[in-house]
Amino acid sequence: MGCKISIIVPVHNEEEAIEPFIDNILTVLNKLTDNFEIIFINDGSSDQTLKKIITQRERLPQIKAIDLSRNFGKEAAITAGLDYASGEAVVPIDVDLQDPPTLLEGMVQKWQEGFDIVFAKRVKRNKDSFFKKKTATAFYWLWNKVADTQIPVNVGDYRLLDKKVVLVLRQIREKNRFMKGIFAWVGFKSSVIEFERPERFSSTTSFNFIKLYKLALDGILAFTSAPLKIWMYIGFIISISSFFTIIYLITRTVIHGVDVPGYASIMITVLFMGGINLFSLGIMGQYLARIYDEVKNRPIYLINKIYESPPKKEIK
């Protein structure tokens, strides 16, 4: 196959996984083409990850590295890889080998059949914890109920993207990025390859519950205004309920006279309404904070240095 394939690999403190990943991906790439590049995006690693990548470049010139100035997060790192990739087919993939490189053969075959996007779907998550599986299921269910753009269930960032899709993705420069949603939003003709997710090769993932929660929140708020609509409906229901309560109290007072209201009931009502108000303000604040981030128009990522064979290519 003469077409060039670009492999995008975001890494953060993954020094143990670099060499095994390269060995595994090369086994597959060598069967497909001799025209490829492997782009590592070093997302502010504090270990020897970058050094390991540079060492591997000595034996394999197709390896390139983008060293970001600090940790910007996986979504920004993938964006940097997409901006820099030069292949006709571009494949974001995790370095921990939970995204099996062997799926590339099937992806390329479907791409050659005319599909613009070929994504990998996990049919079993036996290696994930019970808590992670349940929270993932809840997230996909909630997303596809409220979001304007539907995303395929149990699909990560591992997918093959045609060059024309990548060119469209480069035009999307929003700061609070949720790549799974962005990949789905652009559309194009898609296909799927299913697989069972293996165990992580190296140390534990840096994506803890708090980071996953923040990513999920960013995704939902970036692709739907449903939280605002929900609280508008809740406010309407509470207002109607309050109106009928007022009518009831006025009627009871006219018929039975004035009684002494209870302190407990008043406090419960005040605290409940105060909580509702603060919660709804918090939701509006989340949207305002994202508008603030977009208005500042800061770059999605900053590059410290690019390691590639000359001549160097300018990233726009």
- Could you tell me which residue, 77 or 122, shows the higher pLDDT? 77
Neighbours of 315 (CB within 10 A): 11
* Res 68 pLDDT > 90: yes
| 185 in the same domain as 123 | yes
The total number of structural domains in the chain stands at: 2
CB distance 115 to 190 below 8 Å: yes
Average pLDDT, the chain: 80
Residue 181 has pLDDT above 80, yes or no: yes
For the stretch 245-269, pLDDT in tens is 767 766 776 776 665 566 556 756 7
> Which of 39-48, 114-123, 225-234, 302-311 is predicted with the least confidence, judged by mean pLDDT?
225-234
> What is the CATH classification number for the domain harbouring 71?
3.90.550.10
260 inside domain: yes
Report if residue 151 sits inside a domain.
Answer: yes
Give the pLDDT mean for 204-222.
66
Residues 96 and 177 in one domain: yes
Q: In this structure, are strands 5-11 and 36-42 parallel, antiparallel, or unpaired?
A: parallel
**Domain for residue 121, yes or no?**
yes
* 72 and 162 fall within a common domain: yes
Same-domain check for residues 83 and 194: yes
Q: What is the CA radius of gyration of the chain?
A: 25
* Per-residue pLDDT band at 3 (split at 50, 70, 90): confident
81 and 180 co-located in one domain:
yes
Residue 312's pLDDT is: 47
The CA-atom distances, in angstroms, between 126 and each of 40, 130, 139 are 28, 9, 18
User: Do 196 and 257 belong together in one domain?
Assistant: no
My answer on whether 86 and 130 are in the same domain is yes
DSSP output for 258-295: -----HHHHHHHHHHHHHHHHHHHHHHHHHHHHHHHHH
Residues 58 and 187 in one domain: yes
- Cβ neighbours of residue 309 under 8 Å, at least 6 residues apart? 61, 64
CA 219, 222, 224, 228 torsion-angle sign:
positive
Mark whether 163 and 73 lie in a shared domain. Answer: yes
266 burial class (0-12, 13-18, 19+ CB within 10 angstroms)?
exposed
Matching residue, tokens 């269910």: 141
pLDDT in tens, 136-150: 777 777 777 777 778
* pLDDT score of 46: 87
Question: Which of 75-84, 169-178, 258-267, 274-283 shows the lowest mean pLDDT across its residues?
Answer: 258-267
**pLDDT at position 150, please?**
80
**Among 135-144, 224-233, 262-271, 295-304, whose mean pLDDT is lowest?**
262-271
Residue 57 counted as domain residue: yes
Token pair belonging to 256: 């039975």
> Under a CB-based contact definition with an 8 Å cutoff, are residues 14 and 44 in contact?
no
Measure the CA–CA gap between 33 and 94, rounded to whole angstroms: 21
On whether residue 217 sits in a domain, the answer given is no
Task: Flag whether pLDDT at 238 surpasses 90.
Answer: no
CA distances from 98 to 29, 51, 206, 213 (A): 17, 23, 14, 21
Whole-number pLDDT of residue 230: 75
pLDDT at 81: 92
Same domain, 64 and 156: yes
State which residues form the domain around 14: 5-204+300-307
Label residue 315 by pLDDT band (50, 70, 90). very low
